[in-house]
């Protein structure tokens, strides 16, 4: 009887231990408390590019600037009314999603392309498109190449661990052209190889090419071809099974886009708070309880605009300086496809 009781207890203990282990794994993968942890630590943890002009660049004192950087500041402004409550973690392309999965960061704002396999394979969400991009090619101007269909037989520098590799292969195969792939794991290695002449072409997202061309000794010596060979919707990224956090990230971007459409800027936000227009009142929080429904304050969107600005302001002071035409990233009412659902 004693032996049977011991065996039963041992079996029960093993079952309980297995259940606890399974629960820990589930917690690790499907944590739903990002906002609570963010508030407790008093800062948003944001994963960004290690250095991409216009999107994420640190100065010699460690101060960050850029389009992706400003988005994380907007999230911090919505939560804390303080855009400085962000800690930035510079991540390589091949580690970014794993670091997000392991909760080293709360949000990835790192020129990452939204694709089906990334959502299903990494169990992540891409809440909304922040920047519509496409893969392009940069070549030395001395080659006198006008279009990508003239690149047959080229050596192409490309970063490993990105969607760029597959797009490159698809484009050359579809056009019955041959090429030699020269790939590296880190972006600075790709840039160095291109500068050293180890390849004829550098391929990446067009925004990245425009940014990196500025770092060349003589930018005018390099041509970015007009061809775009892929769709690259760049979006912030969060973990799945944390819908409350995903909603905050998504509506932070939509608030910035809606603000630009309504003509609300960091310069006139105080006047907007006095407006009697229903759509403006709903955005700035003088009507409705939309902020509370996100777990934030009534003036969550007004905080974003006051401290960081609307979408157009963020674009102009960061990406606009690179000379990239705004193109698809214009508001839908100005010929682009940036379009935000209404706050109502």
Token representation of residue 284: 């700035």
pLDDT of 31 reads 55
Q: Cα separations (Å) of 159 from 66, 164, 165, 301?
A: 21, 7, 7, 37
Contact 283, 301 (CB under 8 A): yes
DSSP character at residue 331: B
- Indicate the helix (H) or strand (E) that contains 199: none
* Tens digit of each residue's pLDDT (9 = 90 or more) over 163-172: 899 999 999 9
DSSP character at residue 309: -
* Tens digit of each residue's pLDDT (9 = 90 or more) over 147-206: 999 999 999 999 998 889 999 999 999 999 999 999 999 989 999 999 999 999 999 999
pTM, to two decimals: 0.85
Q: What is the DSSP string of 208-265?
A: HHHHHHTTSSSGGGEEE-S---S-EEE--BEETT-HHHHHHHHHHHHHHHHHHHHT--
Where do the domains of the chain lie, and which CATH numbers do they carry? Answer: 36-130+236-263+309-329 (3.40.190.10), 134-232 (3.40.190.10)
């Amino acid at each position: 009887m004693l032996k049977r009781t011991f065996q039963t207890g041992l079996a029960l203990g093993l079952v309980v231990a297995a259940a606890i282990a399974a629960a820990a794994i589930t917690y690790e993968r499907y944590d739903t408390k990002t906002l609570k942890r963010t508030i407790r630590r008093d800062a948003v943890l944001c994963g960004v590019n290690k250095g991409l002009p216009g999107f994420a660049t640190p100065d010699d004192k460690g101060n960050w600037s850029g389009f992706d950087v400003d988005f994380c500041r907007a999230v911090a402004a919505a939560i804390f009314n303080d855009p400085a409550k962000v800690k930035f973690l510079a991540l390589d392309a091949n580690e970014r999603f794993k670091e997000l999965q392991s909760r080293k960061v709360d949000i990835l704002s790192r020129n990452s392309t939204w694709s089906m396999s990334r959502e299903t394979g990494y169990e992540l969400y891409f809440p909304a498109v922040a920047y519509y991009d496409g893969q392009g090619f940069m070549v030395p101007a001395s080659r006198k190449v006008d279009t990508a269909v003239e690149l047959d037989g080229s050596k192409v520098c490309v970063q490993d661990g990105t969607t760029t590799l597959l797009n490159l292969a698809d484009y050359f195969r579809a056009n019955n052209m041959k090429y030699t792939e020269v790939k590296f794991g880190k972006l600075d290695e790709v840039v160095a190889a291109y500068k050293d002449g180890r390849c004829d072409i550098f391929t990446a997202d067009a925004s990245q090419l425009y940014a990196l061309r500025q770092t060349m000794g003589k930018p005018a010596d390099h041509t970015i071809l007009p061809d775009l060979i892929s769709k690259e919707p760049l979006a912030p990224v969060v973990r799945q099974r944390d819908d409350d956090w995903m909603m905050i990230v998504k509506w932070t971007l939509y608030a910035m886009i809606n603000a630009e459409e309504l003509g609300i800027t960091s310069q006139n936000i105080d006047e907007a708070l006095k407006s009697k227009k229903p759509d403006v009142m709903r955005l700035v929080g003088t009507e409705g309880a939309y902020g509370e429904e996100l777990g934030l304050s009534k003036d969550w969107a007004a905080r974003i605009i006051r401290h960081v600005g609307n979408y157009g302001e963020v674009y102009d002071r960061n990406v606009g300086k690179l000379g990239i035409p705004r193109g698809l990233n214009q508001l839908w009412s100005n010929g682009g496809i940036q379009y935000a659902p209404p706050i109502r």
